[in-house]
Amino acid sequence: MNVISRIRFPSTLETSSLYIKCNENASLNLNPQNVEVVLKKNGVLSFNTYFNSFYEKFYTKYTNLSSLYYLLKLEGDFQVSLYREHYQKDGREIIYIKNFNRCQPSEPVQISLPDSWHSEDAGRSYLELTCLSEHGLFLGGLIATEQPKIREVSLGIVTCTFKKEAYVKNTVNSILKDEFLQDNNLKIFVVDNGKTLKKDELDHPRVELIPNRNVGGSGGFTRGLIAALQDNAHTHFLFMDDDIEIDSESIYRLFALYEYTHHEFAVASSMLDLYKKHIVHEAGALYSKYRDDQGKYHFNPFTIASLKHNLNLENSNSINSLLLDEKPDYGGFWFFAFSKNILEEIGLIMPFFIKGDDIEFCLRIKDNLGLVVFPGIAVWHEPFYSKNPFWDAYYGTRNNLVTHSIHGSLKYTDVIKFVTKGLLQCIFFFDYNTARMLIEGFEDYMKGPSFIENIDPEELHNSIVSLSKSYKSQSIKPYHHNHFNNHQLSQKSGNSILNKLIKAFTLNGHLLPDFFLSKDDALLKMGLGYGESWTKAFTKKRIVIYRDGNSSMYEHEMNRQVVFELLIRWFKVVIKSATRWSSVKAEWRNAFNHLTSVNFWNKYLKLNEQVEQSVHR
């Protein structure tokens, strides 16, 4: 017997709706020593949920599995029903129903999945258990097969962190404590860019702690990947961010996928919102696209369109929409798996430090093989709306331009158009530090790949962080609820086109005389699925911004002199760069193979120096 996946219990009540649904005669007992669902007569336990559905369509398409069965640990009398639902089809069909009497946990109930699960009718199936006795228990379950594996999988798990010790230790411990993963061949490489973890905190034969310089996410993941490659024992690799929460079942399911597939493909997970745990933030994304309010996609070289964004996984129809196998351009490194064969074909990560390294890497995979966002594999991650450091814009601008140089043919006029638009938007929010970061990122891109090769990434990052605090008219202060008492979100429809044009032509009030301006603050809130417009700040001298999930407020005060300095600087950069655009773009494209090679990364990470030092000792 080979186990493909397990029916999982939630670890907290907060996430229970993603695992089980109970009627009034059934209840979950979360005692760590004895997790179970207790049922009375007519109690119903449903697995019509995100994590405990079986996504037939995906297993049919991506594996060679053909014969599967459930094993259920039950106590009492039960009616067991198996249902199937489809994307964009109303209702559900029952595909199996049977009564089982006097069930005992020591003799699991076996239920074969009907052959239709791997037919054209494949969709999403799930079990429902109805208790027929006065008392009943559900103690666990799994889906298994008697088919032999196509291959044995050895997984090198790489996570890199910068001073997020609690997250990393929780993730590592959840993997090591999973009984089912004890028999799987895996090793965890923890790359500590902050050098704050102690060896005895992660002292385990399946864990390797690697102290590292702060070379960002791309440098941390690559450092761990090089160590995993040196083991020469792993068939597949998994990247995981440090600021996640994970059910180790996602890793177990990943093993089964690769053990039973003939294909080469990368596997990405859905990213669930850490603060609203039943909400999908992203299940893959499209590059250089944005989606308008009508759901139509438009070109923008500096944005991504998150797929399945804001999907509520407590809703059955929302779960069914995951059956739509969209073709994403990338999946985030919060959970991203690929084979050693893929790596040998496409090379290592680009040295981006942070921001966009996963996008560029995935574009190579998509062009060569493909990637899948597999339903039922997910992590909870800190949402991006809750954090917005000013220096992000530097890396976003620079790295996006590099990515387009490698994978596209972006025109200079398009670049100037979209960077100028971003610059103006920052000015409209009085966000001059971010505006400066956009310009800095563009300027450093124009220096070509030699800039990346010859500068110390740690020193560069420290410099960028310092520059991102240049303008003292912006400050970050602790959040106070009284600032936003009775705050009403503004409606987008409140601005006519003419009204918005007037505000834009005055640079959102920067060109107005002082007597037109109010001393009242413009209060703006940003969060999941919404963000108030800059137009609300018109005729105001100060903006106060609060982001959901953040303990701070951002205060931006108007400064006309800074605006003129930024615009003049940007105008000069545009003129100066026009004649060099094509040659710089070619330089980045030509340097690509070198920048993704082991030789480059050994030098960049100073690994050769470490080897020499150890020899001389």
DSSP per-residue codes, 261-291: -SS--EEEEEEEESSSTTEEEESSEEEEEEE
Q: What are the residues whose beta carbons fall under 8 Å from the beta carbon of 34, sequence distance 6 or more?
A: none
Q: What are the structure tokens assigned to 479, written together?
A: 């959040």
Fill in the DSSP letter of residue 331.
-
Look at residues 344, 353, 349, 381 and name the one whose alpha carbon lies nearest to residue 363.
Answer: 349
Q: What are the structure tokens assigned to 476, written together?
A: 């970050």
Strands 540-547 and 552-557: antiparallel
Question: Each residue of 438-468: b (16+ CB within 10 Å) or e?
Answer: bbbbbbbbbebbeebeeeebeebbeebeeeb
Look at residues 150, 152, 79 and name the one whose alpha carbon lies nearest to residue 111.
Answer: 79
Place of tokens 């996963």: 358
Sign of CA dihedral 8, 9, 14, 17: positive
Please identify every stretch of the chain with a pLDDT value under 70, giving residue numbers as ranges: 480-495, 528-530, 610-617
Look at residues 451, 445, 460 and name the one whose alpha carbon lies nearest to residue 415.
Answer: 445
Model pTM score: 0.93
CA atoms within 13 A on the CB side of 191: 27
For residue 488, the model assigns a pLDDT of: 58
Give the C-alpha separation, 266 to 246, whole Å.
19
Give the C-alpha separation, 82 to 322, whole Å.
19
For residue 531, the model assigns a pLDDT of: 75
Fill in the DSSP letter of residue 104.
B
Give the C-alpha separation, 569 to 256, whole Å.
55
| Residue 497: CB atoms within 10 Å | 7
Give the C-alpha separation, 538 to 507, whole Å.
9
Q: What are the structure tokens assigned to 588, written together?
A: 């980045």
For residue 614, the model assigns a pLDDT of: 40
Give the C-alpha separation, 400 to 438, whole Å.
11
Q: What are the structure tokens assigned to 29, written together?
A: 């007992």
Q: What are the structure tokens assigned to 302, written together?
A: 């500096």
Amino acid type, 471:
Y
Q: What are the structure tokens assigned to 5, written together?
A: 């996946």
Give the C-alpha separation, 117 to 86, whole Å.
12
SS3 per-residue string spanning 142-203: EEEECCCCCCCCEEEEEEEECCCHHHHHHHHHHHHCCHHHHHCEEEEEEEECCCCCCHHHHC
For residue 367, the model assigns a pLDDT of: 83
Q: What are the structure tokens assigned to 64, written together?
A: 């060679």
Look at residues 185, 250, 313, 244 and name the one whose alpha carbon lies nearest to residue 6.
Answer: 250
Strands 135-145 and 69-85: antiparallel
For residue 216, the model assigns a pLDDT of: 95
In order of 74, 475, 546, 571, the CA distances from 540 in angstroms are 65, 17, 17, 27
Q: What is the pLDDT of residues 269-326, one digit of tens each?
A: 999 999 999 999 999 999 999 888 788 899 998 899 999 999 999 999 999 999 999 9
Give the C-alpha separation, 555 to 557, whole Å.
7
For residue 477, the model assigns a pLDDT of: 83
Place of tokens 């655009």: 581
Strands 371-381 and 552-557: unpaired
DSSP per-residue codes, 354-387: SSSHHHHHHHHHHHHT-EEEEEEEEEEE--GGG-
